[in-house]
Amino acid sequence: MSNKVKQEKTPMQKALGNIKVAYIAAFISAAITFIVAIASLWVELFVGLDIFALIDVVIIFFLAILLVTIKSRVASIILFVLHLFSQIVLHVNNPNLSVWNILQALGFLCFYLQGILGTFAYHKLRKQETQAEVTDDTDRIDSFSRWDN
């Protein structure tokens, strides 16, 4: 048995974890949408899904890349709204969807909400870190300027 003490995550680690949940969900969503859209070309699985659903795949993939690279707040919000809108359209076009479909949609909305919270927390923490660095640099400059007198 090891005596490892589980360390508490820092706020930055929590924010990055929330962002990671969102971009993994986005990549999974893009993959599922791609597979269903391609399959719908041969068999009508869902009313309203056709070759134009591939545009959704490109958009979702692009937004996920923005989350991975620059932790974009705008991308996280658009992912949430896009998923919400697409699920509303899907349910309007096909009202006989199962409880599983509704739970899946709610699950992805929760993941994207985590991404929104994570990106906003990340940028807030980055701003605080930057301001702390500027303050430290200013203090160092002030201490050297005292020697000039």
Q: Which residue blocks in the chain are alpha helix, DSSP H?
A: 11-42, 53-70, 73-93, 99-148
Residue 3: inside a domain: no
Residue 81: inside a domain: yes
Give me the pLDDT at residue 139, please: 62
Residue 2: inside a domain: no
Residue 67: inside a domain: yes
What does the angle CA 59 – CA 64 – CA 68 come to, to the nearest 5 degrees?
150
Q: Which pTM value belongs to this model?
A: 0.83
Residue 148: inside a domain: no
Structure tokens at 29: 């969503």
Residue 99: inside a domain: yes
Residue 43: inside a domain: yes
Give me the pLDDT at residue 40, please: 81
Question: What's the rounded Cα separation, in Å, for the pair 139 and 141?
Answer: 5
Instruction: Give the CA distances from residue 123 to residues 31, 97, 126, 132, in Å, rounded to whole numbers and listed in that order.
Output: 28, 38, 5, 14
Q: Per-10-residue mean pLDDT for the chain, 149 residues long?
A: 75 97 97 88 68 90 98 98 92 84 95 98 94 71 55
73-93 and 11-42 helices, crossing angle to 10°? 40
How many domains does the chain divide into? 1
Domain that holds residue 30: 14-140
Residue 146: inside a domain: no
